[in-house]
A and B are shown apart, each in its own frame.
Chain A
Amino acid sequence: MNKKELVAVIIIVALSLIFYFGIKQPIVFSSTVSYIITALIGLVLLYIFIRTVGGKIFGRRTVFLFVGIAVVLPFFMTIKQPIKSSPEVKSLYDAVLALKPDSKVLVSFDYDPPSAPELQPMAESFFMLCFERDLKLIIMGLWPQGPQQAEMALQRAFLEPDIAAKNLKYGVDYVNLGFQTGNEFVIQRMGSSFKSMFQTDYYGTPYDDIPLIRNVTNFSNIDFVFNLSAGYPGTVEWVQVAVDRYGVKLGAGNTAVQAPQMYPYLRAGQLVGLLGGLNGAAEFEKATNIIGKGTKFMVSQSFAHVIVIAFIIIGNAAYFLGEKRREENKPNQTGMNNQPGAN
């Protein structure tokens, strides 16, 4: 630990103490201050553009610092955001609305905390919508941490006054079956019997002692399935097994990185609705008119998108104006231009 590192650590610890104890109520910038800061960020981007084209390529650390600042500042800003609702989000909302009260909805939590920022807002607004429509929720998870995320989403939903007023009872209005390993084979066996996969629920009560699921044998007693997925096992497996084999009606919420892969299933009718990334969460919150984390994060999200777009433009502008001329002969060609060579 040389001296410079020691000094840096001391500064960070001091700052955290000051912020932690010093600042009691949250900081909020007025809209004028917000627009000034936005203009400032734009100016810095312009500066980077000019210097890069001039030949000075900024180091990775400057880029990292700039991204950090540009993502944190919008937390404190007040900027109105028009959110456009895409067809796949509307179709999921309509599918839930079409369900009669007391229909049984199976919700599978197939993600872990690192993907929570995108999928947790979806879970919360989906629970709120279902409880408002008096639907019965059966919760499960194919990832070990899934059921814990479901518990957090349930607590958040119960904070809503009109849902708390319904004083929903565990085991009658909603149940959490917990995690089961085995990936897509769990879904396969649930096709013949839920009980074989979930002898007890998340708290250890046997399957048959829970009134809500006593006469639920398999998918034919379930009216709708909603799957929150961040990878494998996830929506692909639910489509391949639950939809293709047992014909369930399936809606899905996916991390943005996975969403593009789900469009073939959406078009083939195997998925009735799809929420893609934070944007999908915000659109769903708009459809169910709940202001949750999805909408709040959208401001930072937009700033982040603009920055990435700007960096691509700056990088390529510098490349075409500067580097291309200098490195005409560089051998390193990317694998993409597979020029057909003679064999």
Chain B
Amino acid sequence: MEVFGLWLAAFFTLGIISFLYKDNPWYKFSEAVFIGISAGYWFVVSFWDNLYAKFYLGVTANDDYMLFVGAVLGAMMILRLAPNIGWISRWPLAFVVGAISGFYLMNYFSSNVMKQVQNSVIPLFSADYGQSMFTESFGTIAGKIVIAAGTFTGLIYFFFSKEHKGAFGGAAKVGIWVIMITFGASFGYTVMSRMSLLIGRMDFLFGQWLGMIK
């Protein structure tokens, strides 16, 4: 049985890779199977984990009747199909958007603004508060200056209320340069991870399936 599974997996792997050559029936078959199976997979995972585990067990096991609010809102979402009272589906949607806005607002603000600003407040020329000056290597001190100046000018680039002209425009230009270095760095890292994925698949084809690799 295991061998059959290996060949099936290899069949689909080669089917998807064939898209690189051209859109062909082998690829279309693999694509069709993938769309059907993946839609089914997420439906099942969501059914067992959310509907069964969270809702059904939530109500029966620890009598959390508040969960019915979720079920009612969910049922309203389905009512969109009903011709005349389709507009009722806006209520659960309003609930979702309200909850997400409220939660995200505080979460993003405390972790991304408060924490990051707190960590930007660092002495430039010494390791940390209370240590002597110029003890660190040239690279670290230059790094700290770049961090403080880069964050500052990066924020200037995102400023909406002032035209990027004159000194302000200059600072914004430095800001976009720093942001471009950040994009370059994550581009480099992304290339690395994509290549590892390909290596993983090739290891499957030539290693597990054909057994040609030590």
Q: A144-B45, A279-B192, A305-B191 are in contact. Are A244 and B199 (CB under 8 A)?
A: no
In the complex the two chains form, what is the Cα distance from A181 to B66 in whole Å? 19
Query: B residues within 8 A CB of A279?
Result: 192
Considering only residues 207-255 of chain A, those with a C-beta below 8 Å from chain B are 239-240, 244, 255
Is B206 on the interface with A (CB-CB < 8 A)?
Answer: yes
Is A98 on the interface with B (CB-CB < 8 A)?
Answer: no
A335 to chain B, nearest CB (A): 11
Could you write out 12 A-B pairs with CB less than 8 Å apart?
A23-B210, A23-B211, A26-B211, A27-B212, A117-B203, A182-B54, A256-B189, A259-B189, A267-B119, A277-B192, A297-B196, A300-B195
Is A118 on the interface with B (CB-CB < 8 A)?
Answer: yes
Q: Give the segment of B70-78, B80-88, B161-169 that binds chain A.
A: B161-169
Is B14 on the interface with A (CB-CB < 8 A)?
Answer: yes
Is B131 on the interface with A (CB-CB < 8 A)?
Answer: no
| A75 x B207 contact (CB < 8 A) | yes
Q: A23-B211, A257-B186 are in contact. Are A72 and B25 (CB under 8 A)?
A: no
| A28 x B214 contact (CB < 8 A) | yes
Query: A residues within 8 A CB of B192?
Result: 256, 277-279, 301, 305
| A1 x B193 contact (CB < 8 A) | no
In the complex the two chains form, what is the Cα distance from A240 to B186 in whole Å? 21
Query: B residues within 8 A CB of A114?
Result: 197
Q: A28-B214, A244-B115, A260-B185 are in contact. Are A308 and B191 (CB under 8 A)?
A: yes
Interface string of A3-43 (1 = CB under 8 A from B): 00100110010001001100110111000000000000000
Query: A residues within 8 A CB of B45?
Result: 144, 181
Is B136 on the interface with A (CB-CB < 8 A)?
Answer: no
- Beta-carbon nearest neighbor of B50 in chain A: A181
Query: A residues within 8 A CB of B107?
Result: 240
Seen from chain A, the residues whose Cβ lies within 8 Å of a Cβ on chain B are: 1, 5, 8-9, 12, 16, 19-20, 23-24, 26-28, 60-61, 64, 67-68, 71-72, 75-76, 114-118, 144, 179, 181-182, 239-240, 244, 255-257, 259-261, 264, 267-268, 270, 276-279, 293, 297, 300-301, 304-305, 308, 336, 338, 340, 343
Query: A residues within 8 A CB of B56?
Result: none
| A340 x B111 contact (CB < 8 A) | no
Query: A residues within 8 A CB of B209?
Result: 16, 20
- Which residue of B25, B197, B214 is within 8 Å of A5 (Cβ)? B25
Q: A256-B193, A259-B189 are in contact. Are A16 and B10 (CB under 8 A)?
A: yes
In the complex the two chains form, what is the Cα distance from A9 to B165 in whole Å? 61
Is B21 on the interface with A (CB-CB < 8 A)?
Answer: yes
Q: A116-B200, A256-B189, A260-B182 are in contact. Are A61 and B195 (CB under 8 A)?
A: no
Further pairs besides A5-B25, A270-B115: 7, Cβ < 8 Å: A72-B206, A115-B197, A118-B197, A181-B54, A239-B111, A256-B189, A277-B192
Query: A residues within 8 A CB of B164?
Result: 338, 340
| A75 x B202 contact (CB < 8 A) | yes
| A72 x B193 contact (CB < 8 A) | no
In the complex the two chains form, what is the Cα distance from A26 to B211 in whole Å? 6
- Which residue of A264, A268, A305 is within 8 Å of B195 (Cβ)? A305
| A117 x B190 contact (CB < 8 A) | no
Chain A CB within 10 Å, residue with most, of B53, B169, B203: B203
| B10 x A71 contact (CB < 8 A) | no
| B21 x A61 contact (CB < 8 A) | yes
| B190 x A256 contact (CB < 8 A) | yes
**A-B complex: 7 closest residue pairs judged by Cβ atoms:** A117-B200, A256-B193, A304-B195, A340-B164, A256-B192, A181-B49, A268-B119
Is B180 on the interface with A (CB-CB < 8 A)?
Answer: yes
Q: A1-B25, A23-B211 are in contact. Are A264 and B119 (CB under 8 A)?
A: yes
In the complex the two chains form, what is the Cα distance from A64 to B146 in whole Å? 39
A208 to chain B, nearest CB (A): 15
In the complex the two chains form, what is the Cα distance from A279 to B169 in whole Å? 39
- Which residue of B20, B25, B195 is within 8 Å of A301 (Cβ)? B195
- Which residue of A244, A305, A340 is within 8 Å of B165 (Cβ)? A340
Query: B residues within 8 A CB of A117?
Result: 196-197, 199-201, 203
In the complex the two chains form, what is the Cα distance from A276 to B192 in whole Å? 10
Considering only residues 111-167 of chain B, those with a C-beta below 8 Å from chain A are 111, 115-116, 119, 163-165
In the complex the two chains form, what is the Cα distance from A266 to B169 in whole Å? 32
Q: A256-B193, A277-B189 are in contact. Are A23 and B199 (CB under 8 A)?
A: no
